[in-house]
Structure 1
Amino acid sequence: MTFDELSHQIFKKQSYLCVGLDTDPRKLPAHLLTEPDPVFAFNKAIIDATADFAVAYKPNIAFYEAQGPRGWESLQKTLEYIPGDCFTIADAKRGDIGNTSGLYARAFFDPSAAGLDFDSITVAPYMGQDSVEPFLEYPGKWVILLALTSNAGSADFQRLPTTPDGDVELFEAVMQTAKTWAGADRMMFVVGATQSTVFSRIRELTPDHFLLVPGVGAQGGSLADVSKCGLTESGGLLVNASRSILYASDGTDFADKARAEAQALQTEMATYLGQYCSRA
């Protein structure tokens, strides 16, 4: 999916919602456990319930890898089921030396390899440009670099000063350097919703790039704050919600509850698009 296509979907659906498919087999509604593939049955129902309100889906790869071959099969079927007008993100957080990164890229971008064809993948930039470049060798695919994450431990390294006066923190140095590796049409950055106090600084640094923003919902990030500082005339945001949607109910009504949660977020997002984007 191109930059313009993603932007078009945001304004068409009046939403920048990304649904995180962090599907834990231990949390599935009991009535799904007799299905041949309970994880896929759950994901299918969630996608059906939320596709009207979401522009992206983000399977967290660890939840599928931990199940072995069965989990990988569930992931393949889930990816194939996601509507074609939705952006797909492999939340894998890969990043290694060039040869290894090349194989990671092949696994998630080349359907002839592992049966997967994602639009994008999350990547840890710690090892530098040559660890990221193999992902960018696939035309039309996106790299989403971890910049300032939503977890409490992010401050251990990401907020360290990199200049004597402390004006530039490590996450800013990463973004400043990494945006020279690819344009806004191929690269995004992960910035947690719990980091809303620095969103204005981030937008000054990356005025055109999309930001993938986890941490709204169960993690307590503010959609209002993120939207005020992060929205651009192209949309510019993909705000992820996972647990608040997936596990809104553990009963037979789980899909209906998930739909209601997604619709509530979309309704709020439409308001912010109207406030902050003249294009809306």
Structure 2
Amino acid sequence: MKALLYREFVWFKRYFPDYLGMWAIQLGFSIGVVFRPAYISGGQAYVLSRLKTLYGVEFTAGGLIAFSLTLSSLIGVVALIVGDVFSTLYYEFRIAETNLTVMEASSLADFLFYNALGRSSLLCFFATLYLLALLPLMKGLEGLFLYLAVLALLLPASIALGLLSSILALATITLTHVRRPWAIANLIPPILLASVGLYIPVELVPFLLRLVAYITPLPFVVEALQALLLFIGQPIILGYLTTLLVVYTLYLTVPIVLLRRAERWVRG
């Protein structure tokens, strides 16, 4: 675990300009979601009124930007974790062939679990780091607590996503002869993000598309994030958190069981 964490921090320092670019894209996208409709419709008041109709909550311009900024952080979380899992496992299994050493020294399932636990958690933190600067700047101390609450919601989801990505990557690497698995990895984040209702209530997402998202806990995470941002400090949030606790238990348990079965299959 220490070696995994050390490697991620080294890579973070080495590829810091890439993170700057990702944060800039997330920031630009979140602001574009707010101001582009206002520009097209002829005024920000129209956008605020439409959002009030959708969510039943009165928005201010600053509150809307904070809402959009926070939800946009999920773009980086999903893209980083899925891409990292596919590319790293492909390198370790097909190029470096360290999988043989791993299976001799320990359990493959444990190796993939600790990968998801350590690296996915760090990647979640790295992907949302820009919020640590922006939310306190916009909301003061409340913004800092909001960031910590958002991070606490996203961390278990990141681990679950890392586990599910590991299963899919392992199946792709061992069952197919794909030589560019990142081509598959690049397709997954847009499909997931389109199906979770990131900036709209999830009920407005077409049902068949929504079914794809329920392979992961992301729809529940988005609903909980939206509730946290819309009803911060209100008792209604407790219902979402209780549901999320049950969901996380399910989405963390099932992949671990599947990894155990996958290990027996890989070992033959």
TM range (shorter): under 0.3
* Superposition TM-score, scaled by structure 1 size: 0.27
* Superposition TM-score, scaled by structure 2 size: 0.28
Q: Would you tell me which structure has more helix in proportion to its own residues? A: 2
Q: Would you tell me which structure has more strand in proportion to its own residues? A: 1
Q: Which has the larger radius of gyration?
A: 2
